[in-house]
């Protein structure tokens, strides 16, 4: 399978865009997500990630009002907002 279909199989991760993600420690893909973010960091890719103890896959969608879900959502929204401000290039006026 080519790296374009399964990015975790890519050998060279340099130059990829920043990554903002979270994962629960009860998530079936927990280990893959942690390994992926570690590899990205090692390649110099800006990464912000969090692991939420006791959380399963899609916990934020299945229980959106739970405190931990609100925290995870806020982490993404705040990070995305900050990165958009920091990483956006000036756009030409119309």
DSSP one-letter code for 48: E
Global pTM reads 0.83
Query: Strand 47-52 vs strand 19-24: parallel, antiparallel, or unpaired?
Result: parallel
**CA dihedral over 29, 34, 40, 46, signed as positive or negative:** positive
Contact 9, 36 (CB under 8 A): no
Q: Residue 59: its pLDDT value, please? A: 98
3-state secondary structure at position 70: helix
pLDDT 10s digits, 7-66: 778 889 998 889 999 999 999 999 999 999 999 999 999 999 999 999 999 999 999 999
CA pair distance 56, 64, nearest whole angstrom: 13
């Amino acid at each position: 399978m080519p790296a374009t279909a399964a990015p975790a199989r890519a050998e060279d991760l340099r130059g990829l865009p920043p990554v903002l993600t979270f994962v629960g420690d009860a998530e079936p893909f927990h280990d893959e997500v942690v390994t992926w973010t570690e590899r990205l960091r090692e390649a110099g890719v800006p990464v912000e990630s969090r692991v939420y103890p006791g959380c399963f896959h899609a916990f934020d969608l299945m229980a959106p009002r739970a405190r931990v879900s609100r925290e995870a959502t806020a982490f993404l929204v705040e990070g995305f907002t900050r990165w958009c401000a920091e990483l956006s290039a000036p756009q030409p006026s119309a």
